[in-house]
């Protein structure tokens, strides 16, 4: 079963003036079968961008219930949206909230909320948006 992994990277980046600048902690999201495959995919993806040293410094699993990607060039930011799904406890009749994270690619916060609404149109579950945050991802590799 494939899953998503957050990969933090460190590398040397060429600045406009021709000097090298060390970059640490850039985070990418990678779809892979394992941590090993995620690391290999990161190395493969970044070899076209990085000319000097490159290292994956951290890998951890990322749990997303849904992902909504965009095709427009202006939608260049990823937003992590925490949804609270509302269910009723059959015994007590009390409302229960189950939280799940969703990743939405959008141009800005309002666009992210709109895209989420479009993506969730067919959902039978009631939900509320508990939080919307810009994710730390520089890119997502599917």
Q: What is the pLDDT of residue 95?
A: 84
Positions of the chain with pLDDT lower than 50, given as ranges:
none
Q: What is the pLDDT of residue 2?
A: 60
What contacts 119, CB < 8 A, 6 or more positions away? 66, 68, 102, 104
The pTM of the whole model exceeds 0.95 = no
Q: What is the pLDDT of residue 16?
A: 84
């Amino acid at each position: 079963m494939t899953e998503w992994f957050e990969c933090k990277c460190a590398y040397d980046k060429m600045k406009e003036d021709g000097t090298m600048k060390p970059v640490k902690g850039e985070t990418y999201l990678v779809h892979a079968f394992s941590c090993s495959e995620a690391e290999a995919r990161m190395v493969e993806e970044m070899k076209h961008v990085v000319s000097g040293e490159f290292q994956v410094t951290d890998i951890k699993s990322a749990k997303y219930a849904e992902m909504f990607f965009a095709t427009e060039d202006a939608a260049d930011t990823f937003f992590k949206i925490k949804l609270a799904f509302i269910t009723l406890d059959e015994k007590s009749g009390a409302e229960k909230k189950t939280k799940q994270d969703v990743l939405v690619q959008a141009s800005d916060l309002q666009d992210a909320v709109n895209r989420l609404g479009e993506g969730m149109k067919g959902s039978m579950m009631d939900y509320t948006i508990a939080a919307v945050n810009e994710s730390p991802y520089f890119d997502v590799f599917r």
